[in-house]
A and B are shown apart, each in its own frame.
Chain A
Amino acid sequence: MKTFPHGIHPKGNKERSANVAVAEFPAPEAVSIPLLQHAGKAAVAKVRKGDYVKAGQKIGEAEGAISAAVFSSVSGEVIAIEKRPTASGHCEHVIIKNDGKYEEEKLAPLKNPAPEQIVRRLADCGIVGMGGAGFPTAVKLAPRDKVDAFIINAAECEPYLTCDYRILKEYPREFLMGAQYMAAALGLETFFVGLEDNKADAAEILDKAASDNNICAKMVLCHTKYPQGAEKQLIYAVTKRKVRVGKLPASAGVIVCNVHTALSAFYAIENGEKCYKRIVTVSGGGVKTPANFWVRTGTPVSAVLDACGGIGDAAVKLLIGGPMMGFAQSNGDIAVTKTTSGILLLTADEASAEESGPCINCASCVKACPMSLMPVYIDACILSGDVGGAEKYGAMNCIECGSCAFVCPARRPLVQSMRLAKKKIREKGGKR
């Protein structure tokens, strides 16, 4: 079975929402759309208070080389532009009052597009990596190195999340064609789809869809192990290539994109639709009716949760994203963005709230680390102020997947130590 060294086996908990079909989530009365929904610089507001916007109209212009445009998700009047909290910080939000008409602004569909046209279109439609990082896809598809493999990351190794799985099952044709367009943008005719072997049924559906639509795609089943969906780990599992430390995947000749990105790319190219809605998994022990929804960006998380039974007494943690790398929120007043793959409510039983004890040197973290680092030493070094030691044991290569903290019997907050170490090393001017 294809996989990568080390890694962990958290409980999947995907059965809660895996078989719930994707439903359209009704747009709320007002949406607050963050202008930073991607990696890089925030978009600059293009509309002013009082403007009337259509769904799909550009309200934020990409700023700088690494940025992405932001679009309105409903039609209506801009009632405010103000700073609000996001899942992991603050940024300007455009608040639009929904007039309920959903007048849409679309681009003309592209027929047999050239690679440059595809990249242009993905930038025009504001498509970013929808797995969580939100790296602008147009930038990713114009690499400096020569690329000879394109991988769709359908591993979805985070527990609970099922949005990618639902796409594979419900939109196999759209997804595969979108991926084919993206491969074409890289000058490739074929691509790989990397899945965990717990999604073998989806792989069968994809194979059928690929043969029906004459698409050259190879489904690669990988071992169900976290973090199988981490970029470097998936590249290794699928192609046996190791991305060198400190380098981008393109340096190994590989580009990896998320499932949802490919689906959005399909809609952008075939229908001219802008990227302003996405599939979100609502799950966790604190959610009464787990669901997968098409949610328009800017919809408050609390509204989505209310549709699934609200934040009950059992819930202790609200997460945006998966339980391993997601962001905990104190309340549901933030907006769904292009990168919100999941909204989870965890109960006290599911979430960890134990106090950390002293390190017992068991080296469980060393055996778990998919990047072959020494979390035990990095933790000890950085807590005693030894920045050089933390650098020596590879802190800068940490992907913050949380495997070390997951297995730690003493419940050490290792990921926090890693982040602290990275910050200190950067301040010192160190590199990978």
Chain B
Amino acid sequence: MKNLTVSASPHVVQKSKTTRSIMLDVLIALAPALVMAVLYFGYHALLNAVVCMGSCFAFELLYTLILKKDFSRKAVRSSSCWDCSCLVTGIILALNLPRVIIVKSWDLNVYSTMPNVEGVRAVDYVAFSGDTLILCIIASLVAIVLIKMLFGGIGKNFANPAAAARVFLFLAFGLTWANTMGLGSALPASTGATWLSGNKLTNGDNLFFNMFIGNRGAAAAGETCMIALILGYLYLSVRKVIDFRIPLIIVGSAAVFALLFDGLPHKLTGARLVNNMVAHVMSGGLVFGSIFMATDYSTSPNTFWGSVLFGVGIALFTMLIRVFGGYPEGMSFAILIMNATVPLIDKFVYPRPFGYYKKPKEKPLKALDSPLPYNETEKGGIKA
């Protein structure tokens, strides 16, 4: 007699969706942003991405092996790193970093010939930055080991690993986005201060167009090009990896808060008010963060209405930091702050079961349209 498998129902599953397929979908959705980052900021953006993804993968693999005290091939094969979520963390982290970061006391960089002109900073002429790569590895260590694995690995981390690692670099290494313009990049990128670190009320030549295609100076590598981000957003929405409403809610409420905190108090009117709003939405990591970081499964609420609260909170904190805070950009802080509220949101916002009722009070039944005899129904017979 042949041995047949006995197991509990259901006996079929949705084959198309696995943890790994979801993570690969996110990687695919991030590909346009990576391509644009390389086009704008040069090869170093790609190098950062490779180093971040590689070290995230290696740290997760090592962590699981060390914890199991088993270094056999079987243990390697059963490590959780193969679900590819560490690669997603790595690429999001890399796209959240500027092209190069220089740590003055290390200075392991190779510079191209730097013109001896006053006002030109070294960072503009870095051809290869060892500092950046070391920081990438440190950030990956923070993201994977400190934030993700120590809390139980995938699905159990309380904070977004990439956002936490970026904030870590920001605070520990004085990471700055200022003038991270790419050397030898294929497309001309504008130089100078970013819109956010300026007085935020200006509207330069073709500001919107340049912001939309990503042609802006100082920025994290992946967050500039709206077209690439929107492509990724559409892909994730179509594949149903993310709820398409959540990024819209974050961006939408961010626009409203920009209006309330920045536009109206400065007595902007008409076109300038709208300009201010749109520029707020398109600058910084708002769009990137709302599509790829605020929709992170383990660090966002599990219900739609919980996610709405979460999203509005992110928009609120981002705008508070941008307008009233000491930092030009607040998306990663806002995400981290709201990450901390997720358990609370999930505790109170959850659906009531189908047919839930509060008081056992008899309500009159809803009247039915009683079925008619056939000869009285419309032609064709079926009334759906």
CB distance B366 to A241 under 8 Å?
yes
CB distance A354 to B2 under 8 Å?
no
CB distance A325 to B297 under 8 Å?
no
Q: Is A327 an interface residue (CB 8 A)?
A: yes
CB distance B382 to A372 under 8 Å?
no
Q: Is B119 an interface residue (CB 8 A)?
A: no
Tell me whether A360 and B155 are in contact in the complex, defined as CB-CB below 8 angstroms, given that A318-B4, A400-B9 are known contacts: yes
Q: Is A374 an interface residue (CB 8 A)?
A: yes
A307 to B14, CA, bound (A): 31
A251 to B284, CA, bound (A): 56
CB distance A331 to B1 under 8 Å?
yes
**Number of interchain pairs (Cβ within 8 Å):** 212
CB neighbors of B among A246-287 (8 A) = 247, 252-253
CB distance A374 to B372 under 8 Å?
no
Give the size of the chain A interface in residues (CB under 8 angstroms): 96
A408 to B34, CA, bound (A): 29
A373 to B303, CA, bound (A): 11
CB distance A330 to B382 under 8 Å?
no
CB neighbors of A among B56-93 (8 A) = 80, 83, 85
CB distance A358 to B354 under 8 Å?
no
CB distance B155 to A370 under 8 Å?
no
Annotate B284-321 by CB proximity to A: 1 below 8 A, 0 otherwise. 00000000000001100011000000000000000000
Q: Of B4, B14, B156, B354, which one neighbours A8 at CB under 8 angstroms?
A: B14
Q: Is A58 an interface residue (CB 8 A)?
A: no
Q: Is A200 an interface residue (CB 8 A)?
A: yes
Q: Is B374 an interface residue (CB 8 A)?
A: yes
Q: Which of A19-27, A94-102, A119-127, A190-198 contacts B (4 or more CB under 8 A)?
A: A190-198
CB neighbors of B among A289-327 (8 A) = 311, 313, 315-319, 323-327
CB distance A359 to B13 under 8 Å?
no
Q: B84: shortest Cβ distance to chain A, in Å? A: 12
Tell me whether A323 and B155 are in contact in the complex, defined as CB-CB below 8 angstroms, given that A207-B382, A216-B371, A363-B303 are known contacts: no
Q: Of B10, B80, B356, B384, which one neighbours A221 at CB under 8 angstroms?
A: B384
Tell me whether A358 and B297 are in contact in the complex, defined as CB-CB below 8 angstroms, given that A204-B381, A245-B355, A407-B14 are known contacts: no
CB distance A328 to B6 under 8 Å?
yes
A interface SS class: loop
A244 to B355, CA, bound (A): 4
Of A203, A372, A411, chain B has the most CB atoms within 10 Å of the CB of: A372
A residues less than 8 Å from B351 (CB atoms)? 366, 372-374
A317 to B11, CA, bound (A): 9
CB neighbors of B among A335-379 (8 A) = 346, 350-354, 357-364, 366, 370-374, 376-377
CB distance A197 to B384 under 8 Å?
yes
B residues less than 8 Å from A148 (CB atoms)? 365, 368
Q: Is B375 an interface residue (CB 8 A)?
A: yes
Tell me whether A324 and B8 are in contact in the complex, defined as CB-CB below 8 angstroms, given that A221-B384, A362-B297, A397-B354 are known contacts: no
CB distance B11 to A244 under 8 Å?
no
Q: Is A65 an interface residue (CB 8 A)?
A: no
CB distance B4 to A328 under 8 Å?
yes
CB neighbors of A among B360-384 (8 A) = 365-366, 368, 370-375, 377, 381-384
CB neighbors of A among B140-155 (8 A) = 152-155
CB neighbors of B among A397-418 (8 A) = 397, 400, 402, 405-411, 413, 415-416
B residues less than 8 Å from A328 (CB atoms)? 4-9, 11
Q: Is B18 an interface residue (CB 8 A)?
A: yes
Q: B199: shortest Cβ distance to chain A, in Å? A: 41
Q: Of A4, A219, A357, which one neighbours B83 at CB under 8 angstroms?
A: A357
B residues less than 8 Å from A211 (CB atoms)? 374-375, 381
* Residue in B closest to A333 when the chains form the complex, CB atoms: B1
Q: Of A252, A323, A370, which one neighbours B10 at CB under 8 angstroms?
A: A323
CB distance A361 to B384 under 8 Å?
no
Tell me whether A242 and B354 are in contact in the complex, defined as CB-CB below 8 angstroms, given that A329-B4, A358-B153, A360-B85 are known contacts: yes
Q: Of B1, B6, B21, B154, which one neighbours A358 at CB under 8 angstroms?
A: B154
Q: Of A1, A4, A331, A354, which one neighbours B384 at CB under 8 angstroms?
A: A1
Q: Is B12 an interface residue (CB 8 A)?
A: yes
A67 to B276, CA, bound (A): 73
Of B303, B346, B356, chain A has the most CB atoms within 10 Å of the CB of: B356
Q: A57: shortest Cβ distance to chain B, in Å? A: 33
A72 to B110, CA, bound (A): 91
Q: A215: shortest Cβ distance to chain B, in Å? A: 8
CB distance A376 to B302 under 8 Å?
yes
Q: Is B22 an interface residue (CB 8 A)?
A: yes
CB distance B354 to A190 under 8 Å?
no
CB distance A363 to B302 under 8 Å?
yes
Annotate B257-291 by CB proximity to A: 1 below 8 A, 0 otherwise. 00000000000000000000000000000000000
* Residue in B closest to A344 when the chains form the complex, CB atoms: B11
Q: Is A424 an interface residue (CB 8 A)?
A: no
Tell me whether A325 and B10 are in contact in the complex, defined as CB-CB below 8 angstroms, given that A241-B366, A243-B355, A363-B297 are known contacts: yes
B residues less than 8 Å from A253 (CB atoms)? 365
* Residue in B closest to A364 when the chains form the complex, CB atoms: B17
B residues less than 8 Å from A36 (CB atoms)? none
CB distance A359 to B155 under 8 Å?
yes
Q: Is B19 an interface residue (CB 8 A)?
A: yes
CB distance A394 to B1 under 8 Å?
no
A383 to B22, CA, bound (A): 25
Q: Is A41 an interface residue (CB 8 A)?
A: no
Jot down 20 A-B pairs with beta carbons below 8 A, ordered by A. A2-B384, A190-B371, A203-B382, A211-B374, A211-B381, A216-B371, A219-B381, A241-B365, A323-B10, A346-B11, A352-B10, A352-B13, A358-B153, A360-B85, A363-B303, A372-B353, A372-B354, A406-B10, A406-B13, A410-B155
Cβ-closest 7 pairs across A and B: A402-B10, A218-B371, A207-B381, A211-B374, A363-B302, A352-B13, A221-B384
With A245-B353, A397-B354, A409-B14 given, name 10 new contacts (CB 8 A): A148-B368, A191-B371, A204-B382, A236-B354, A324-B9, A326-B11, A360-B154, A364-B17, A372-B351, A374-B302
A binding-site residues for B, Cβ under 8 Å:
1-2, 4-5, 8, 10-11, 148-149, 159, 190-192, 197, 200, 203-204, 207-208, 210-211, 214-221, 232-233, 236, 239-245, 247, 252-253, 311, 313, 315-319, 323-331, 346, 350-354, 357-364, 366, 370-374, 376-377, 393-394, 397, 400, 402, 405-411, 413, 415-416, 419
